[in-house]
Amino acid sequence: MLSVGIYSGNLISVSSADGRGKRIVNIHSFSGQTNGDDSPYNLLVGETLNLGTPTKRWCENQNSHPWVIFTLTDYYLIDKIVFRDAKTAEPNSLNTSEYWIYVSTTGTADADWIEVLHRTGVGAENVKTESFTPTEARYVKFVTTQADGAARIYGFDIYGTYSRPIERGDIVSVGKTIIDFHSCASFRETPANAFDGYNAGSNSDGWNFNKDQGDGWIKIDLESAYDIYKFVLQDSQDWLNGYKVYVSNTGDDTDWQLVANNTYPDVQEIKEASLTTPVRARFVKLEIPASNQNNWTRIRAFDVLGTLSTEVTSVQEALSKTLKIYPNPVEKGNDIQINETGIISIYSLQGILLKELNIENQTSISTNNLCTGNYIIQINNQNGTKQFKLTVN
């Protein structure tokens, strides 16, 4: 499972090039691009693929100050950026000599932005690296200048740590892990776009695929068990008229349970499927049969709605004789004690991994970095997985 902080130095922007794994950062909007191959989505693939063969870049020659706005699945404290300029991959090209970094927690209008970085005279730097005071962001804007009539950027890395969730009610699927999917039209149109929490804007891409490729499907890991009661699919055009949803507690191919099989008018953009009785599951599979596709399918968003499984409480009660966490509730700032060994993970109620530790003996864990509220403690060891609720007052 990919999680916040798994990358060296808290790199949060690199996504798997094949669309699997976890996407925290996505493209919100941008000033332009030279052609389809020079998409700003190339900025997110990371150094290894970014400078491979063929190389991947964002090239923009239409504006004197090209810009890209990145959107984050939740609020993060951003403290460092790194980007690879033209001469990194094109020795005979000129680097950009000036750039700006802005952040926002409220929106993308001019009045929303706070400037956190402005560098000039940096044309000699092929790889531009800059750290700054951690600043909370929901959006990050990168503005640069042209060189040789264009800006050519070979990757843009954003570093930061999780700060707090964006309020989405009972939507529990945003930013979760994509296990597998059947196909997509291009590297910028993977199913990650359906789970990034952003589904509007003229420049945004959905999960796009063609009927010729057969049944469309995707498997996601919600990273914790939820009592799921609704699915909401946002179609970008009248291109599908039905879908199926399966759930599982293991993710195994033999363990999928069909819980929704609905049809809709083509022109209905928002296609909801409510369950009569909530079902407990950690894994979800969305399937769009070829018979429900008209030709092309582009899904802007697919939301899973649920609440953290009530079985967490029963598990805690069943393990109470052997599993000791105390005090619980705990006053913020005080330590909690755990008499278990293994991987200890602390999740928000939205299922976001906040902290992970590998402990070999009874240990204490600080609550200094936790806000008041409820959390899920999960312990993984040779005896299996145990989880229960922690309250911080």
Domains 8-164 and 177-308 alike in fold: yes
CA dihedral in degrees (80, 86, 88, 91; nearest 10)?
-160
Q: Best-predicted range by mean pLDDT among 10-19, 290-299, 320-329?
A: 290-299
Bond into 54 cis (ω within 30)? yes
Share of the chain above pLDDT 90, in %: 45
Q: What is the pLDDT of residue 8?
A: 42
Least confident of 176-190, 250-264, 317-331, 363-377: 317-331
- pLDDT per residue as tens digits for the range 288-322: 999 999 888 889 899 999 988 755 444 444 444 44
Question: Whose CA is closest to 385, among 351, 337, 345?
Answer: 345
- CATH 2.60.120.260 is held by the domain 177-308: yes
- The mean pLDDT of 147-174, rounded to a whole number, is 90
Segments making up each domain of the chain, as ranges: 8-164, 177-308, 311-392
- Domain 311-392 fold is Immunoglobulin-like (2.60.40)
Q: What is the pLDDT of residue 312?
A: 46
- The mean pLDDT of 362-369, rounded to a whole number, is 75
- Count Cβ atoms below 10 Å from residue 342 Cβ, excluding itself: 19
Q: What is the pLDDT of residue 203?
A: 45
- Asked if residues 163 and 75 have their Cβ atoms less than 8 Å apart, the reply is yes
Reported pTM: 0.73
Q: So what CATH class is 8-164?
A: mainly beta
- Asked if residues 34 and 59 have their Cβ atoms less than 8 Å apart, the reply is yes
- Asked if residues 24 and 166 have their Cβ atoms less than 8 Å apart, the reply is no
Q: What is the pLDDT of residue 315?
A: 43
Q: What is the pLDDT of residue 62?
A: 93
